[in-house]
Amino acid sequence: MKRSLLALIVITLLIIPVTGLNSPASSRDRITMILIPLKPPSTMYKNFLPLKRYLERNLNVSIDIKVAKDSNEIIKHLETGEADIAFLCPTLYCISYNRVPIVPLVKLSIDGSSGYRSLLLVREDSHVKKTADLLDGTFVYGRYQCPESGLLPRVMLKRVGISEENLFESVKLGSDESALISVMARMFDATGVSEMAARPYMGNGLRALRYSYSIPQYLFVARASLGKDFIQKLKQTMLTINGLEDPKSVVGSIETGVDGLSEAEDRDYDIVRILIKNMPGEKDIILKEKKGVRFVVEPVFFEPDLFKRLNPLITHLSKKTGLAFQLLIPENVEDFIDMQNKGEGAIFLQNPHLYTKMTESNRVRAVASIAETGSPEGRMGIIITNSSGRIKTPKDLADKKIGITSFSSDDGYLSQKDLLLKEGVPLDSLSFIKLKTYENVIMKVYRGSVDAGFVSLSALWSMEQDIDMNKITILAKTHPLPEWIIGIKSGTDARLADMVIKALSQFHDRTDFEIKVLKN
């Protein structure tokens, strides 16, 4: 009898479905939402409680809220299945996406916007007028692990050649409010926080020095193991909040100004991946699309600037063709040339000189050009010097150190070289230093590390917010130059080429450049 009872229990246990951590959500009645620790746990729980209750009612599941101790705990819980949904900052999302199969659901909308910026702030009476003035200064970080207070300020500083090494002092306090107050109290020269955090202090002791790129808001993600059906139902349920009479009653307590949610896509966060990649010591977390169409760009501008400018075009191409286009920016011009020679890309954007070299070996064929519309003088190269120096004419450059982007750049070396030859300046007397990007060249001239620099006119004006333009002298200008060329790799499928050309002809989303499709 005992044996029969024991056997019955064992059989019953075997046939009853067990709800495990990795079971599809459709067979579970309880899931866990883990939150990035932005505030004390009790506050976080309270702020997310209305959303929890709304989802429970509409999904017919129970949701447990857990506030993580740190970012690593969130990733660990997603990996082990101890968490099913997570609320993440953009940087943590990009890191997690590489380690855990997760699906982006929705991102916050704050004051009607699904993106946000940070800004550098100084005291209203500070001697610091431009970003470059912070060299050898003191800087205080607030919530350093969050992009708005850590990553974005660091990128703004890097653009002008400032890092932890050439700040006199940098401190991480862990609180934006503490960082702002410490700048007001004259303990530090500057800090960087989100626009929202800065708003109460603007005009009340602090002023904006520089605004950052816009990046997408914090977002919710789900583990892929929840199953496509449940994930889609979860996403749609979260989006229905926007249709409520008062969406803030559900999501308004998450953060000040939250007024809704918008659909999140992984490609939205590529700008964040680019920013992370450009920080010293950070690993490149850009995912290489195996089936994507690679759009490769000659790397002469600061990578985040180039990405921000061209990403709308990449998005446009993806939507119009239905294919996944990927913007790739090689480390240097040599790598760019190597990628063309090896055919490691479908589309290449480059200066006319480089394009001509590629056509000699029948690597690419031109399909369009990009014309700058922001400058009345058109695209041209310039020679710049520091205004405090003794260089007054091109002939004074003999025996001097010259910063350039590369020997293949038409507006960063070749056109200036031709100009000097006409002026009778012996090129073999010059010492050329390759600095990769226009911004690097400009900053080296600005700080006197090189005697002069060859850059494009548009690149110099892009630095207007960061440097005192009175400290730079334009020594000479080249003649206007032909526009950059968009070329398609020779041998590319004719259908793909036609789709790309048609999509390029329909692109009108920028005011600073115009695409002109070339006639065959």
Question: Of 17-21, 158-162, 463-467, 477-481, which gets the smallest average pLDDT?
Answer: 17-21
Question: In this structure, are residues 122 and 408 in contact, taking their beta carbons and an 8 Å threshold?
Answer: no
Phi-psi category of residue 365: left, alpha or beta, with phi > 0 → left and psi -120 to 50 → alpha: beta
Task: Work out the angle at residue 222's Cα, subtended by the Cα atoms of residues 48 and 142, and round it to the nearest 5 degrees.
Answer: 55
The confidence score (pLDDT) of residue 286 equals: 58
Q: What is the mean pLDDT of the chain?
A: 90
Question: Of 62-66, 215-219, 230-234, 372-376, which gets the smallest average pLDDT?
Answer: 372-376
Position 204 pLDDT exceeds 50: yes
Global confidence as pTM: 0.87
Phi-psi category of residue 292: left, alpha or beta, with phi > 0 → left and psi -120 to 50 → alpha: beta
Question: In this structure, are residues 371 and 508 in contact, taking their beta carbons and an 8 Å threshold?
Answer: no
The confidence score (pLDDT) of residue 513 equals: 85
The pLDDT-based confidence of 9 (bands split at 50, 70, 90) is very low
Q: Count the neighbouring beta carbons within 10 Å of the beta carbon of residue 408.
A: 20
Question: In this structure, are residues 195 and 117 in contact, taking their beta carbons and an 8 Å threshold?
Answer: yes
Say which DSSP state 202 is in.
B
Helix (H, G, I), strand (E, B), or coil: what is residue 113? Answer: strand
The whole-angstrom separation of Cα 446 and Cα 132 is: 9
**Pairing, β 102-110 against β 258-263:** antiparallel
Question: In this structure, are residues 83 and 214 in contact, taking their beta carbons and an 8 Å threshold?
Answer: no
The confidence score (pLDDT) of residue 280 equals: 73
Reading the block at residue 457, the tokens are: 């006119």
Question: In this structure, are residues 102 and 85 in contact, taking their beta carbons and an 8 Å threshold?
Answer: no
| Nearest in space to 138 (alpha carbons), one of 191, 173, 189 | 189
Helix (H, G, I), strand (E, B), or coil: what is residue 291? Answer: coil
Note the pLDDT tens digit of each residue in 435-490: 999 999 999 999 999 999 999 999 999 999 999 999 999 999 999 999 999 999 98
Note the pLDDT tens digit of each residue in 271-318: 999 999 888 766 666 554 446 899 999 999 999 999 999 999 999 999
The confidence score (pLDDT) of residue 285 equals: 61
Average of pLDDT values for 108-119? 94
The confidence score (pLDDT) of residue 279 equals: 83
The whole-angstrom separation of Cα 295 and Cα 413 is: 24
Say which DSSP state 23 is in.
S
Tracing tokens 């590529």 back to the chain, one arrives at 270
The whole-angstrom separation of Cα 437 and Cα 412 is: 9
| Nearest in space to 309 (alpha carbons), one of 297, 320, 324 | 297
Position 348 pLDDT exceeds 70: yes
| Nearest in space to 476 (alpha carbons), one of 451, 459, 455, 458 | 455
Q: What residues contact residue 320 under an 8 Å CB cut-off, 6+ apart?
A: 499, 502, 503, 506
Question: In this structure, are residues 252 and 142 in contact, taking their beta carbons and an 8 Å threshold?
Answer: no
Q: Where are the beta strands (DSSP E) in 163-218?
A: 169-172, 190-194, 206-211, 215-216
The whole-angstrom separation of Cα 197 and Cα 149 is: 10
| Nearest in space to 420 (alpha carbons), one of 304, 429, 154 | 429
Q: Where are the beta strands (DSSP E) in 351-412?
A: 364-372, 381-386, 401-404
* Burial class of residue 512, CB neighbours in 10 A (0-12, 13-18, 19+): exposed
The confidence score (pLDDT) of residue 520 equals: 67
* Burial class of residue 155, CB neighbours in 10 A (0-12, 13-18, 19+): buried
Question: In this structure, are residues 4 and 12 in contact, taking their beta carbons and an 8 Å threshold?
Answer: no
Note the pLDDT tens digit of each residue in 478-513: 999 999 999 999 888 899 999 999 999 999 877 778
